[in-house]
Structure 1
Amino acid sequence: MQVTVLGAGIVGLAAAWELSLRGHAVTVIDRAAPGHGASGGNGAQLSYSYVQPLADPSIWAQLPKLLLSRTSPLKLRPQLDPQQWRWGLEFLGACNAETSRSTTEQLLALAMRSRAGFESMMATLQPDCDFSATGKLVIYRSQAALDGAARQVELQSELGSAPQRIVSPDECIVIEPALVTVRNEIAGAVYTESECAADCLKLCIALVDALQARGVHFILGETIDGFALRGDSISAVTTSRGAVDGDAFVLSLGSASNALAQRLGVRLPVYPLKGYSITLAVDETPGAAPTVSVTDSAHKVVFARLGQRLRVAGMAELVGADASIPAARIESLVASTRAVFPNCSDFAELNPWTGMRPATPTGLPIVGHLPGAPRNLLFNTGHGALGFTLSFGSAGRIADALDEFGPSPALPEPGRGRETKG
């Protein structure tokens, strides 16, 4: 079957990888270079076991700060945008215990599958992506917050997650000596020994090389304009330079997916959550920079070691598709880093980045068919801050959905799935 994947971020590339493994002929289209959307400078953590969704009952108590505080790591800035208001209301509607539990269960199942797919890819490809499996600490600065985390750990244990445990401040220092500076500021942490980290952009580049070697065709630097329909199916996707046909299409364009789906009369509850990161060269002195991944839950900042670099990422802003990088947001990440790991770097180069995480109100990605959409269109978007973590699980589900079409037909004639002149 000829499958055209729209999007060359980690979610689209993982889908292309899985589809190619299953014998499909694959074309990937994107207007940007692979991995240069929300994937490029993400938090780098592969969080397979601690997947608590942002839509949680605790949001209600935080709402005044989210709306009014200039320093809040989560920002809701109302605009004259009906999509933003609708998404925001649906998000608040999802902030209840029942929805949070259901979302957690589904995210854990998808994450478990994703781990298996990722590990299989790593064994086959062995990419240079600064992969590490040193575990993760999620630190909490109050006993109340730690108690809430303990309840989440208990829930996830019931749902079959990898082993996790609550650790004391002293145990935190044993696990990650670089946390000694904040020993007296934390109540404890959730420790997951099996969690991992990797440079998502490096992996995207390695995947492209491997996919091209497998015969996957890439059309990059092209704007996707819309679709050509034949009956209840898509016959081709139209681009700035022509049409690209296919037997099936996978929409993996992140936060840009909604605008394209609307041209088919399909509404996706996906809105960008803007995040930021910096990447620092680390001081190699033992105990200066962390080797274990760390999440500072109070400040919503994550720290992931990538070889001789430290990725620091955080914040979630519901501010539309604004790609600017305000100096204040980068300064906030620097301040957060200095506060937790004051000796980790000389902070000479920050490499600031921003990306638009494609989020659904519940936190569950949209993977597969949707009612009212063309029958040969599969959606693969809305992964929020867990795109890297969930990408290979989603890829498996996309490939399963295509298998439901029946046995793959003979490969198309030369030129099928390639760019044609309009």
Structure 2
Amino acid sequence: MGAGIVGLATAYELQRQGMQVTVVDQARPGAGASGGNGAQLSYSYVQPLADSGIWAQLPKLLLSPDSPLKLRPRWDPHQWRWGLDFLRACNRRASERGTATLLALAARSRQGFERMLAAERLECDFSRTGKLVLYATQASLDDARRQLELQRAWGCEQEAVTPARCVEIEPALAHYAAQIAGAIHTPSECAADCLQVCQGLHALLQARGVRFVLGTRITAVTRSAGRIVAAQTDAGAIEADAFVLALGSSSHALARTLGFALPVYPLKGYSITFDAAAGPGAAPRVSVTDAARKVVFARLGRRMRVAGMAELVGYGMDIPQARIDSLCAATRALFPHSGMGRDLQPWAGLRPATPTGLPVVGRHARAPANLLLNTGHGALGFTLAFGTAAAVAEALAG
């Protein structure tokens, strides 16, 4: 249930292991949070959003219209419960434990994704040009150095670099070097077009006999003796021996109909995509993250993807012009010669997030026995998809 990158990666892994698979979704493959995401495969940048540093930012989160992180309370008990659980997770111990878990899962996911790319040769503008995370102040850079030392113990190969070294790594930053205190460089980080991956997986899985029921809403689930018998949809009942819930931010609603709660709530994000300037040093080829603005820049072949924001504001899919203007302002500040024009292809997506930042994978004590979960990846859906898919396949095989 779900045809985003997480659902499709799961379908790929299950079909690869010889299972007969049906994928059902009310939209086309990759149309949800996968379609216009930040495009970065951030295998070494997985620190949960819930961190002890959030406490000092709370006034800005609640009040500032320009904050890249935004919280707007609604009359929604699920949002309040999620928010309180998030604040409880905002401590150093939980953040370090979550980082360790996510790094291990990201390493496994990298192996699965790159094995799939080598085997299937999907066209997805894949690149392995590394990533620079820029810090505007010495204090924020010092915090990043401490995180670097923590992650180094778990096998991450990263280094702190000076502004001058940033320009050597990515010449398009020459205009902006005076505005940063330094950066963390990870040479092994990658980028790819997630929508193209979804479309490629859809085509090859369909050719291998996977059944796709698209444009179809799941309306109910039929149960018997503690198990799911069928998913009821607009196109009729879909029977199966096992079901995988990978509906992203909609997972909570379906779980509620089955009598259990999932701590998954949408974190809304935005992106723009435009044709990059061709001149040397005009548009970046290395992936770049502006830590202060919470904006990422990723090269996708001849295009640039600029993405950011994390809003806890409900399920609306509107795209406020102010958010697109903010992404454009960040692009002009860092890369004034990148080629950004009028055709920006603005996009919004709802990332399915848990309070701790850890996805919900496998069986649930209160769920039907033949239901497996694969949801709650937050901003790391593309990064973690093939790792959690492997975990679900193992759980089913076991």
Query: TM-score, structure 1 length as denominator?
Result: 0.94
Q: Quote the offset at 1:346 in angstroms.
A: 3.9
Aligned-partner Cα distance in 1 for 2:27–2:334? 35
For structure 2, which runs of at least 5 residues remain unmatched after alignment? none
1:202 is aligned to 2:196: yes
Aligned partner of 1:222 among 199, 203, 216: 216
For 1:309, the aligned partner's letter is R
1:150 is aligned to 2:145: yes
Aligned-partner Cα distance in 1 for 2:293–2:370? 43
1:348 is aligned to 2:379: no
Aligned-partner Cα distance in 1 for 2:337–2:324? 18
Q: Quote the offset at 1:348 in angstroms.
A: 2.2
1:55 is aligned to 2:50: yes
Q: Quote the offset at 1:240 in angstroms.
A: 1.3
Q: Quote the offset at 1:50 in angstroms.
A: 1.6
Aligned partner of 1:171 among 142, 151, 165: 165
Q: Specify the alignment match of 1:394 in structure 2.
A: 388
Q: Quote the offset at 1:347 in angstroms.
A: 1.5
The SS at the match of 1:277 is strand
Aligned partner of 1:302 among 296, 312, 336: 296
For 1:372, the aligned partner's letter is R
Q: Specify the alignment match of 1:414 in structure 2.
A: none
Q: Specify the alignment match of 1:79 in structure 2.
A: 74
For 1:77, the aligned partner's letter is R
Q: Specify the alignment match of 1:96 in structure 2.
A: 91
Q: Quote the offset at 1:269 in angstroms.
A: 0.3
Q: Specify the alignment match of 2:29 in structure 1.
A: 34
Q: Specify the alignment match of 1:183 in structure 2.
A: 177
Q: Deviations over 1:235-281 (max 9, x none)?
A: 11110121000000000000000000000111000000000000011
Cα 1:60–1:239 shift into 2, 3 Å: same
For 1:21, the aligned partner's letter is R
Q: Specify the alignment match of 1:271 in structure 2.
A: 265
Aligned partner of 2:126 among 110, 124, 131: 131
For 1:221, the aligned partner's letter is G
Q: Specify the alignment match of 1:111 in structure 2.
A: 106
Q: Specify the alignment match of 1:381 in structure 2.
A: 375
For structure 1, which runs of at least 5 residues remain unmatched after alignment? 1-5, 405-422
For 1:391, the aligned partner's letter is A
Aligned-partner Cα distance in 1 for 2:214–2:294? 34
Matches within 5 A, 1:223-372: 223-372=217-366
Q: Specify the alignment match of 1:416 in structure 2.
A: none
Aligned-partner Cα distance in 2 for 1:164–1:15? 30
Where in structure 1 do 4 or more consecutive aligned residues deviate above 3 Å? Answer: none
For 2:105, the aligned partner's letter is L
Q: Specify the alignment match of 1:412 in structure 2.
A: none
Q: Specify the alignment match of 2:39 in structure 1.
A: 44
Q: Quote the offset at 1:334 in angstroms.
A: 0.4
Aligned-partner Cα distance in 2 for 1:245–1:342? 54
Aligned-partner Cα distance in 1 for 2:269–2:366? 32
Aligned-partner Cα distance in 1 for 2:269–2:2? 19
Cα 1:232–1:74 shift into 2, 3 Å: same
**Stretch moving more, 48-57 or 380-389:** 48-57
Over the matched positions of the two proteins, sequence identity in percent amounts to 63
Aligned-partner Cα distance in 2 for 1:346–1:233? 52
The SS at the match of 1:14 is helix
The SS at the match of 2:174 is helix
* Alignment coverage as a number of residue pairs: 398
Aligned-partner Cα distance in 2 for 1:110–1:71? 33
For 1:315, the aligned partner's letter is M
Q: Deviations over 1:358-399 (max 9, x none)?
A: 000000000000111001100000000000000000000000
For 2:118, the aligned partner's letter is A
Q: Quote the offset at 1:32 in angstroms.
A: 0.1
The SS at the match of 2:175 is helix
Q: Quote the offset at 1:184 in angstroms.
A: 0.7
Q: Deviations over 1:116-137 (max 9, x none)?
A: 0001100111111010000000
Please tell me the root mean square deviation across aligned C-alpha atoms, in Å. 0.6
Query: TM-score, structure 2 length as denominator?
Result: 0.99
Q: Deviations over 1:335-369 (max 9, x none)?
A: 11000000001412110000000000000000000
The SS at the match of 1:25 is coil
Aligned partner of 1:20 among 15, 22, 35: 15
Q: Quote the offset at 1:147 in angstroms.
A: 0.6
Aligned-partner Cα distance in 1 for 2:15–2:149? 38
